[in-house]
Structure 1
Amino acid sequence: MAPFSFLRTRRKRSQPQTDDRDPASSSLDHVSEPTDKLQRRQSKRDFLRTLVKKPVGAPESRPGWWRNSNSHSMKPDPYQLQPPRSLDNTNPSSPMSGTNKPLPPPPPPGPHEATESPPKPVVKLARIIAPIAPPDLHKLFSGAPQFYARSEGHHTGAPHPSVAFPWNTDVDTRDLRDHIRIQDEAWGCVTAWPHITVQKSRDPEATKEHHRKQRAHFLPRCRERPNMLSMQGIERGTVGYAAALEMGVADALRIPPDDPEESPNAILDHRKDFLNTKEGLRPLTDSTLIDRLISASTAYHDDPMKHQRPTIELYTDLFTQILYPPSRVTDSQDPYSLQVQIEVLIDVLAAPYVWIDFGLVEYRIRLGQILWGHPESDLGEDSPVNSEVMHESGTQKYWLLLQILLASELLLRLDALSMNMDKGLEAPKLDELRRFDKSATMSVRWSIILARQWLENIKIERKDSDAEIEKKTPPGWLASLTGRVGSTSEPVGIVDHPKFEGRNQTRQLAGLVHFASKLRWPNMETLAAKVSANDIEIPDSARSTPAMDTPLSVSTQQSTSYFSSRRPEGRWGSSMQKNATALLRPSGWLSSSYINGLILPGEGLSHFLMSTLLENDEVAVSILGDEANLYGGFIYCGRSFWSTACIVGRVVAASEGGRECMGWISSEVVPRGSSEGWVDIDVEVPLEHDSDIHNGVPRIWHKIAIETSGSVVGGADASSVLPGDFVSPSDDALQKSFSVTFESLNLFSEADSETDSTQDPTPPTGTEVATSTKIKTYSAMMRFIVATDVEEKREVNLALSHDVQFVTAHPCVASPYTDILKTPTSPLFRTLEQGSIKSSSVSSNHPLHKAFTYTRIHILDLLSTSSSTSFNYLLLSAQITDPTLSSTHTTSSTIPKVLVVDCTDSATADLPPPGVGHKRRSGSDIEMMARALCAERGWNALVSRRGRSCLACAIREAGALGWRVILRLC
């Protein structure tokens, strides 16, 4: 220890000599010293002792510094070591401060304090204010779905909605979905998205064959909207998250523009000009066109390498038989490459006002009519092409097959390029990909999808002509186009003669029987026997379909359409076409479209299935009539059948014994007020409390708002989230003892809704058919009886007046890591300590960030309010009535508050919730009443069931969708 003699030396030098003084006097002088002087001396001594025990400064850490320095230079300076002076004069920062009012000496240190260092800050305090670490946050929400809306790239349209579990690698969790899988291979054409049907997943050989066919193929970034994989939710009569968002940009909302260039005569002129140029398509005879289609089909099916011929051979075949060679060189290194051929084919298919745009739902359904329907009448004139003459008979079918041929040639080359990329032989450059994305319009992409469906499902068989046609050498090259010049006979091999037959008719008929079985079709045995005996009649040519079997006309007699000319304003996807009607005939083009399998993705499959079922049931057609409203419903044999595009179908789907399959719902609920036959329901588009369209832009385009309002942290910074930012919404039933009994579904006819075509003196033709229909329009109302323990039975009438939608809340898996949030400052921790919420209820829920707010209300309390009550008043009144049922925290979040409607009763609330993978309940009258209530008030609602999804995840999904109502069921 360093010597402290320098302290004694300095003290002796500073004090006078007292050796000659009397000890008594010295003692007396010591006693007589002023008290303040003694206190200052004692303070200095204590200060020096502190310096000795705990020196401050850098020299202290160097051993031997006392020996290398003199005592005068190392004298400690107390004024340099003292802490900053305090602003409070009553608490000086050092013993030398405040000389007029010295402080009393501090108490002597205890035995432990003198030896131990000062205590460190409380560790619990640091743990409370520390944010949740990212790994802990990932564990906490590993089983919670997260909602996204991401674009697939440039020129691909609206963003694609998706649900994912990014923090969970468990297959069982990542495979959770809010929709039903496609359950039959015959229905796989309903979507352009990659998928595996239930049959394929159960059959290893079918799955292997499916993967073999799909290996190394081109998949265009073009999808149907809404996503048909998400159109049938787990709960009957509902859709999934993706379909709900995409309804704002549904394909059915696209209406052909009222452009003079789109008229039939204008299109005919464009096609003439298109053939007159020497930079695009060569004029092809009908026979040559059929030969090329057969050749493309053979290459697709018989060549295992997907048409892997040398590029120079493909180039020669394409530009000498189908197209004119390009006028400029786009690739100087390899002018015969696949990319060059692909670019030229895309340019030809992208020509405006020439080809059919299958991005429109109307033309996707008309596809079968053009091939198997009645041929159009001739225009009565010949068309000059390159100063020659071209016959225009059957022009619609000719140009459709020509479009299929070009798209097939393009698809074969895209598949070959994809296979080369898969094997590492060839890869397109970045600028080539950009040119493809820019030049391949949506119309071109839909043509590619059509080509895939054609090559997969259609085969062509030639038919022998009835009479031998005299063969003469035609005068000139164009005579080979039709064979008409110089001969009075019909041209050899015209388009009407080949037979277009389905490759998978057995598969399609099995899917028809499956569809009828799912819906509990009354004449199921007769249909199954008819299919087994191969008695389903399929027309061999277009001439077998009468002229009256064509759909209703839109604007001109030359342009027929599946839809009527009355296009009601709407935004809910297919329901916009609610007044569409079609005529049913045995072996009509509707049946031919389904049985042959030529169906483009979208809503068309549901129409074809029901039409084929009816057209092959003579008893049903005789009772229902030959006119069908495929967006409404019909009553037949003690059951009612409804399209999911109809609000009545979406409500009665929740009834006991209800069934749903591929866009149709079968129910034991039979309406009153209408006899057997087709009906149409009059509804309004819900406008109040609807966030689907914001500032004129559909919700799906607000990608940031979707992901922010649906994130687990409510859009907050994930690195600064505290445990106290989360709450646990109560999922306990409100224990209302009541019962609901469904009484009836009543239909009320509108006086001006019926227009009977039989009352006209002459049958309507042309556009007059579009507004003539025998199908009546009704208003729907449901009647319930509600009984409680405290009041008598009362009648509740709910009008189904709004075309609302229901979404199945996405399933989730409860987190076992909720202990991460158990801190003294966490509301969840305090709730558990107080015991106001059952531990089982909390453990089954994910925590909810404070950015989300909600109000719970029982359905009986909601029925007590008027239908004209504002939504905001409902949120406020429920909070005032019972504050414990609403969010008690305050937040600056802009996420709208959600109304949670408790639809549980005392009989089912105490039952243990089923597991995540449990089967759907059979339905109940309470569920029907809850949906009918939403239809009356115009509320889009999430259907959330205990045991499948927690309340917190349902609230977040409502935030992502922009919806305000959740129906909480047992």
Structure 2
Amino acid sequence: MVQDLLRRHRDCPDDPDPDPTTGIRREPTDASSSVKSSDANTRADSPRPTKEKPKAKAKAHSEHVESRPKKADVKPSASYQLTKEDAETLFSGAPYFLLEKGKHGHYYPQVIFPFDDHDPSIQNLWDRRPLPHPAYTICTLHAHLPVPDKWVIEGDAPVYLNRWKRTGAPKRATFDIGIFETPNMLGNNGKDPGTIGFRTYLELPVGDAVRYVGPERPRPIADYMHLSAMPAAEVYDLMEHYNDPYSLCQDGTVHDRKRLLCDGPSAWRRIGVRDIDLRTLVERLQFLTTFRYEILHSQKTTTILDKESCRELYTGLFTRFLYPPSHFMLVGVDNPHSLKVQIKALTTVLGTPGAWINFCLPEWRLRVGQILWEAAPHVDGDFLNPNSCDKPWMHPTLERKWLLVQMLLSAELLLRLDATVRVGILDSSSNLHVSARDMQDFDRLRNDQVDWCLVTVRRFMDAFGIAYRADEPEPPRTASSMSLHSLSHEKNDKGEKPRHHHRWFEALTHRSSSPSLTKLHVESAWRCHLTPSHVEVQIQGLTVFAEAIGWPGARDLRAHLRSKLEAENSTDIIADAFSQPMTPIPLGETDVPFEKDEMYSRSLSRRRILLHDASASDKDPHQIGGWITRSWLSGFVAPGELINHLLMATVLENDPAARATLGRVANLYGGFAYRGRSYWSQECIVGRVLCCLEGARACLGWSSSAVVPRDSQTFEPLDNTWFEVSVVAPPGNGNAGKPRIKHGNKLSYESTPLGLGDLTSGAYSLPVDAPLDEDASRIRFDSLTFSGKEAHPLEGRPQVVAHKTSMSFSLTTDAASPDGAASIKVSFPLTYNVRFVASHECRPPGGFVSYQGQTPPTPLHHHRLPGHPLHRTYGYKFVPIAALRGSHSQELFFGNIGVGRYEVMVVDARGSREKEAFARAWCASAGYDAIIGREKRTCLACCIREARAISVKVVIRTGGGLSRPTSIQTV
């Protein structure tokens, strides 16, 4: 078929211009038709990256392309060489997968359409669903078009451009931090339920949860551990500068944040931070927040330098918040009061290892709200227990104040960076010169911790109005009023005197580690009031989520929140509600205890969090749920997967009936059954398989199903309880331990539409789906069963741990089974934590090709092709779905059905949703990720190429795809 199309294309009458309907042009007869390597975007070999000598290869290919005489009676030949026009015609609408290299060795997956640059509508083809509500845009740092105002996308309903309008959106900040959440949250919800997109899949092995695995182990500088081996002069020099400001910032020390807070102002001095008066801190943070709003929303371009001069910024920073800069910060600087010095000092302080909350860790992005709204001591999480320290500077709200200090210093740095880029680089001001070396020095100085501080403070200032209230009642303090002498001789719980590291340093240098009590700034950090700015939008987003997953109390949830937050004096009500701390309630006897280290767990099946028991606050109009609810309603949500956790946890916290039934301990990587329906996190393999069945509903990272698990021993339904499903990581996909995203150009080289090898018409085929025979194999879903450890019954437990999960089906085929039964029972254990990737949408070659031979003169028309051609180097094999029963992965791929090691297996699961669930369950039992290739959305050739691009061996071909054209998507 491809050869015939090429022959007719070449034999059409001379017409140098493209047909207005088809867009297809005849091959020119002059030498200009030769392919040149310099025109990378429009040549036939442009999407074929080469490993060695690309120019030479392109030249050789160019010389091989020749003009041929146009003879209508010439038979199709397998040796026809593809030209530029052939490639543009045949591969129009075919996605091209590649990796774009960024800074610091990061790669960003991209999908482009190199043969459709002339058609802007091609950019509407995606592999993901649009974000269904504006409140959900806070999940990502990637650029994207907003959802239209007051418009909710349900499924893939069309959204027209004339519904979009500018609604006072802020300008983009001048300084680009240059980091993104990993994986990309825009692709976290694929076109098919339970799937993810191409970009998200590739980024999973290098995601934030993989790169950042808990806080660094605290350690002192190595010199302190080898004093006995050091010369006396070096020892005295070390002691002399031990208490200097900034002495423990870049010396190799990794601090323990909780210990640092307990050690007090003298320890803070060593990282350059003063003991800051709370009122001064809050009022400055309020000023910076208000001014940043003006920068982003005013028509005039302005920076912090329009409010304060460099000298004023220097004085305010180093007299109220930080100590004067150390000598190493002034090296190579002409003006000691310049912005460069201030930026260097702030970056050094915020980058001090272990001293601050590290927002690189996804756990802290989730739990930062716990510090802001929950009173200490906390029941769960890695927090400071103020009762463990009775120093005079210790206060129950010290950890909250330390977080506010971190936000203040981050805001000071952010606005200075913005001014530097705007004035020094974009405006090329003579008063502020910024060289390329200055930018390189800053890039070397900052680290991921500093970058995520900047991301977090942006969200912080976007979410809150900040104010200081001196009339806030002072809670009882934890610190003792005993003298410094008695404090130094206190005993710990074991009756031993506590070890004060470096105390002898202080004695030798005649410096006290504890400042005078009269100079301490000790007051309640609850006097800093945070008033959220986007409560209405967040309530709408929560309601959309609850309704989308089919939550039974969605209407009551909305009414409950509106009754507390919507009134004539709603602003005052919201301010009062968010200014009052909530008291954590200890765990009950039936609750599973928490360990501090569990916060940093990397379990595939467990991520537990303690919900607030709001029984008492339900009747109090000034109380709104717990810290989880307040985090969501305030909009203070960091980028990443935590938006999924906050949405589900907020629904549970504000549904008294569900909270009473399910308990306070939620497993955000598992699922639960409630009132005859099950709800599953997208992180749980059960949810990824079940959500393709009839009656399932999904939104963001959660789905619901009419299927309720059963106990394998009693076969009784396990309703009204939480589930933890044990799984293991799937084996590698042949990448030799190296994530596919690290393969660079190899990804695009091995998945290019033109294929590898010769570009003759005989090298291509046109794979199409076979005619659907629904009677050949009929599949019915039977049950989902859980088995406990050592086969113990699971009923009656508040938290069910499924050590073995099985999904059972009934398979009926035309061929009689060996035992003569009409139906075969097939059961798959869901053993592996596999992923399903939604195939990227493609558009088959458009228009038609007309041909008129010598006789008869009747023209022949070939309308839109059913798909794109596929080069013979892409091996694949069709496998009937019935062949999956009882087969193990290795023998299936490399044995009994003859699938080659480098071939892609295409499973025909069209005809019913049960077939798709059957294929997904097999993948979970065999340990293979899969492409979900829905017909009418993606042709077979593009599915196979995408599988090769991401190194996936299975394509599950499903039916019921969307008809084209597709709707406008959220970019």
Q: TM-score, normalised by structure 1?
A: 0.70
Aligned to 1:444: 450
What amino acid is aligned across from residue 528 of structure 1 in structure 2?
R
Aligned to 2:610: 582
Counterpart secondary structure, 2:82: coil
What amino acid is aligned across from residue 361 of structure 2 in structure 1?
L
Measured against aligned partners, the alpha-carbon deviations of 1:843-877 in whole angstroms (never above 9, x if no partner) come to 121111222111111101333x5336524335x62
Against the structure 1 CA distance between its residues 707 and 375, is the aligned structure 2 distance closer, same or farther, given a 3 Å change threshold? Answer: same
Structure 1 window deviating more from structure 2 (305-314 vs 705-714): it is 305-314
Q: List aligned pairs for 1:716-731, cutoff 5 A.
A: 721-731=759-769
Distance in 1, Cα, partners of 2:136 & 2:793: 35
Against the structure 1 CA distance between its residues 358 and 416, is the aligned structure 2 distance closer, same or farther, given a 3 Å change threshold? Answer: same
Structure 1 window deviating more from structure 2 (435-444 vs 316-325): it is 316-325
Q: List aligned pairs for 1:208-357, cutoff 5 A.
A: 208-209=166-167, 211=169, 213-253=170-210, 254-256=212-214, 259-261=217-219, 263=256, 267-268=260-261, 275-277=268-270, 280-303=272-295, 304=298, 305-307=302-304, 308-309=306-307, 310-326=309-325, 327=327, 329=330, 336-357=337-358
Post-superposition offset of 1:525:
2.2
**2:719 is the counterpart of 1:675:** yes
Structure 1 window deviating more from structure 2 (666-675 vs 221-230): it is 666-675
Aligned to 2:730: 686
Q: TM-score, normalised by structure 2?
A: 0.70
1:270, 1:353 within 8 Å by CA — same for their partners in 2? no
Aligned to 1:158: 106
Distance in 2, Cα, partners of 1:297 & 1:739: 62
Aligned to 1:524: 554
Distance in 2, Cα, partners of 1:960 & 1:373: 47
1:545, 1:589 within 8 Å by CA — same for their partners in 2? no
Distance in 2, Cα, partners of 1:723 & 1:545: 71
2:904, 2:955 within 8 Å by CA — same for their partners in 1? yes
**2:517 is the counterpart of 1:485:** yes
Aligned to 2:133: 184
**2:115 is the counterpart of 1:167:** yes
What amino acid is aligned across from residue 284 of structure 2 in structure 1?
R
Against the structure 1 CA distance between its residues 317 and 462, is the aligned structure 2 distance closer, same or farther, given a 3 Å change threshold? Answer: closer
Measured against aligned partners, the alpha-carbon deviations of 1:684-724 in whole angstroms (never above 9, x if no partner) come to 2221x624xx33322211113212222223355xxx63333
RMSD: 3.9
Against the structure 1 CA distance between its residues 185 and 939, is the aligned structure 2 distance closer, same or farther, given a 3 Å change threshold? Answer: same
Distance in 1, Cα, partners of 2:813 & 2:97: 40
Distance in 2, Cα, partners of 1:484 & 1:548: 40
Distance in 1, Cα, partners of 2:543 & 2:928: 36
Q: List aligned pairs for 1:403-802, cutoff 5 A.
A: 403-420=406-423, 421=425, 428-465=434-471, 485-486=517-518, 493-534=523-564, 538=577, 540-546=579-585, 548=587, 560=596, 563=598, 567-568=602-603, 576=604, 578-586=606-614, 587-673=625-711, 674-687=718-731, 690-691=733-734, 694-714=735-755, 721-733=759-771, 735=773, 737=775, 738-751=777-790, 774-791=799-816, 792-802=822-832
What amino acid is aligned across from residue 900 of structure 1 in structure 2?
V
Against the structure 1 CA distance between its residues 664 and 334, is the aligned structure 2 distance closer, same or farther, given a 3 Å change threshold? Answer: same
Distance in 1, Cα, partners of 2:92 & 2:580: 58
1:748, 1:779 within 8 Å by CA — same for their partners in 2? yes
Counterpart secondary structure, 1:600: coil
Post-superposition offset of 1:230:
0.7
Aligned to 1:402: 405
Counterpart secondary structure, 2:710: coil
Distance in 2, Cα, partners of 1:318 & 1:594: 32
1:714, 1:849 within 8 Å by CA — same for their partners in 2? yes
Distance in 1, Cα, partners of 2:193 & 2:446: 38
Aligned to 1:361: 362
What amino acid is aligned across from residue 933 of structure 1 in structure 2?
W
Distance in 2, Cα, partners of 1:539 & 1:143: 51
1:147, 1:706 within 8 Å by CA — same for their partners in 2? yes
Against the structure 1 CA distance between its residues 754 and 219, is the aligned structure 2 distance closer, same or farther, given a 3 Å change threshold? Answer: farther
Against the structure 1 CA distance between its residues 206 and 861, is the aligned structure 2 distance closer, same or farther, given a 3 Å change threshold? Answer: closer
Distance in 2, Cα, partners of 1:784 & 1:756: 23
Post-superposition offset of 1:199:
3.0
1:639, 1:666 within 8 Å by CA — same for their partners in 2? yes
1:230, 1:241 within 8 Å by CA — same for their partners in 2? yes
What amino acid is aligned across from residue 386 of structure 2 in structure 1?
D
2:474, 2:523 within 8 Å by CA — same for their partners in 1? no
Which structure would you say has the larger RCO, counting Cα contacts within 8 Å and 6 or more residues apart? 2
Aligned to 2:833: 803
**2:853 is the counterpart of 1:903:** no
* Greater C-alpha Rg: 1
Q: List aligned pairs for 1:100-111, cutoff 5 A.
A: none
Post-superposition offset of 1:503:
1.3
Aligned to 2:478: none
Distance in 1, Cα, partners of 2:364 & 2:593: 13
Against the structure 1 CA distance between its residues 173 and 463, is the aligned structure 2 distance closer, same or farther, given a 3 Å change threshold? Answer: same
Structure 2: where are the runs of 5+ without partners? Answer: 1-66, 152-158, 220-254, 378-384, 476-512, 567-573, 615-624, 712-717, 817-821, 853-860, 960-971
What amino acid is aligned across from residue 815 of structure 1 in structure 2?
P
Post-superposition offset of 1:191:
1.2
1:942, 1:954 within 8 Å by CA — same for their partners in 2? yes
Distance in 2, Cα, partners of 1:291 & 1:416: 21
Against the structure 1 CA distance between its residues 345 and 163, is the aligned structure 2 distance closer, same or farther, given a 3 Å change threshold? Answer: same
What amino acid is aligned across from residue 451 of structure 1 in structure 2?
V
Post-superposition offset of 1:579:
4.7
1:145, 1:810 within 8 Å by CA — same for their partners in 2? yes
1:579, 1:680 within 8 Å by CA — same for their partners in 2? no
Distance in 2, Cα, partners of 1:867 & 1:941: 16
Aligned to 1:32: none
Post-superposition offset of 1:185:
2.0
Aligned to 2:156: none
Measured against aligned partners, the alpha-carbon deviations of 1:374-398 in whole angstroms (never above 9, x if no partner) come to 3243255566xxxxx7446533222
Distance in 1, Cα, partners of 2:814 & 2:916: 20
What amino acid is aligned across from residue 136 of structure 2 in structure 1?
W
Aligned to 1:762: none
Structure 1: where are the runs of 5+ without partners? Answer: 1-119, 384-388, 470-480, 569-575, 759-772, 823-837, 880-885, 887-894, 906-922
Post-superposition offset of 1:208:
2.3
Aligned to 1:920: none
Against the structure 1 CA distance between its residues 210 and 634, is the aligned structure 2 distance closer, same or farther, given a 3 Å change threshold? Answer: farther
Aligned to 1:477: none
Aligned to 1:769: none
Distance in 2, Cα, partners of 1:184 & 1:380: 44
Counterpart secondary structure, 1:743: strand
2:132, 2:147 within 8 Å by CA — same for their partners in 1? yes
Post-superposition offset of 1:335:
5.6
Distance in 1, Cα, partners of 2:708 & 2:873: 45
Counterpart secondary structure, 1:782: strand
Report the number of matched residues.
Answer: 750
Measured against aligned partners, the alpha-carbon deviations of 1:669-688 in whole angstroms (never above 9, x if no partner) come to 2222313211111222221x
Distance in 2, Cα, partners of 1:954 & 1:394: 55
Distance in 2, Cα, partners of 1:173 & 1:868: 37
Structure 1 window deviating more from structure 2 (185-194 vs 427-436): it is 427-436
Measured against aligned partners, the alpha-carbon deviations of 1:151-174 in whole angstroms (never above 9, x if no partner) come to 221x3x531112122332322212
Structure 1 window deviating more from structure 2 (162-171 vs 415-424): it is 415-424
Against the structure 1 CA distance between its residues 133 and 789, is the aligned structure 2 distance closer, same or farther, given a 3 Å change threshold? Answer: closer
**2:95 is the counterpart of 1:145:** yes
Structure 1 window deviating more from structure 2 (237-246 vs 398-407): it is 398-407
